[in-house]
Amino acid sequence: MKYAVDLHIHSALSPCAHEDMTPNNIVNMAVMKGLDAIALTDHNSGANLEAVSICARNQGLVFIPGMEVESCEEIHLISLLPDLKSALKLHEIVYEALPAIQNRKDIFGSQYIMDENDQIIGEEKRLLVTATSLTADEVFSLVTSLGGAVIPAHVDRSSYSMISNLGLIPEELKIKYLEISKNCDRYAYRAAHPELDGYKLIRSSDAHYLGDILERESMIEIEGRAAREADGSTDGFGLIGEESGQADDMAGIGEALRHVDEASRIREPDKDKPSAGLTACELINILV
């Protein structure tokens, strides 16, 4: 069974993200786009994870609590945890590893902490978009010890990526997946980087705006899971099917700017959905 995911999404806690990136808006947009699972990955903080997890649960969307940790080498690492408790543990450690620099809203933007009703319940004062004191190695050890998975972020970019900053993927790190950007041509990238043949590539949106959240274009396959595959039906949202092996390269962000109000109605969890019963843990097991 293949599941459509977007494992790199920012909320309004990230100062660079739009203030429309509220817990409900993110979840509603993901549901509207027909995704089976999403991860919230704010910069160096998990302060909005609980609110988004509540919204996701209410909408029957599988939610992976995560964080985009910046190592001391200025490498962005998508860190995905199996549950909220371990994610909040990571949050505590990463927060302590941030320099005590105050955010300048006028320069970087606001860092809103929200509840499950999209109410602003606080603002993070410490600047989140900066390097922590943790090495990439330490981030891997930490996340792994918490039962999570690490995916080096946007390796095709010229900054804040493992390849741009280290020049290679260290073999001693147990890495299975590398993230490529939403608009990266994966075939051209593969052709240009034969040294990465041993790694799987996964596309994520790195969405800072609602419209940027992926459609059903990035798939994770869990072999032997779920039974509705045989009838070829989609998950009931009427969007793109999942039969293509190259599904994560499907073009199509045409739906991207649909107004999120359309999705604001509460959706009854559908027990017949292919993703019913799917857990963050099962998805993470595929990624490590």
Shortest CB 276 distance to Zn ion, Å: 29
Q: Which of 83, 90, 3, 61 is nearest to 286 (CA)?
A: 3
Going by the DSSP 8-state scheme, the letter that residue 156 receives in this structure is T
List of residues 6+ apart from 75 with CB closer than 8 A: 136, 152, 153, 160, 161, 162, 165, 166
Nearest-5° angle of CA 280, CA 178, CA 163?
A: 145
Q: State which residue, 36 or 206, has the beta carbon closest to Zn ion.
A: 206
Q: In what order do the strands lie in the sheet with 2-9?
A: 149-152, 76-80, 62-70, 37-40, 2-9, 219-221
Query: Does residue 206 interact with Zn ion by CB under 5 A?
Result: yes
Query: Does residue 153 interact with Zn ion by CB under 5 A?
Result: yes
Q: Which of 71, 92, 72, 73 is nearest to 81 (CA)?
A: 92
Query: Does residue 203 interact with Zn ion by CB under 5 A?
Result: no
Count of residues that bind Zn ion according to CB under 5 A: 4
Contact, 182 vs 7, CB < 8 A? no
Q: State which residue, 11 or 275, has the beta carbon closest to Zn ion.
A: 11
Query: Does residue 156 interact with Zn ion by CB under 5 A?
Result: no
Contact, 80 vs 69, CB < 8 A? no
Closest residue to Zn ion, Cβ-based?
76
Shortest CB 246 distance to Zn ion, Å: 24
Shortest CB 39 distance to Zn ion, Å: 11
Question: What residues are paired with 128 via a beta bridge?
Answer: none
Shortest CB 181 distance to Zn ion, Å: 9
Q: State which residue, 182 or 273, has the beta carbon closest to Zn ion.
A: 182
Query: Does residue 248 interact with Zn ion by CB under 5 A?
Result: no
Q: State which residue, 75 or 240, has the beta carbon closest to Zn ion.
A: 75
Q: State which residue, 162 or 240, has the beta carbon closest to Zn ion.
A: 162
Percentages of the chain per state (helix, strand, coil), in multiples of 5: 30, 20, 50
Shortest CB 70 distance to Zn ion, Å: 8
Shortest CB 208 distance to Zn ion, Å: 7
Site for Zn ion in 53-112 (CB under 5 A): 68, 76
Interacting residues toward Zn ion by CB under 5 A: 68, 76, 153, 206
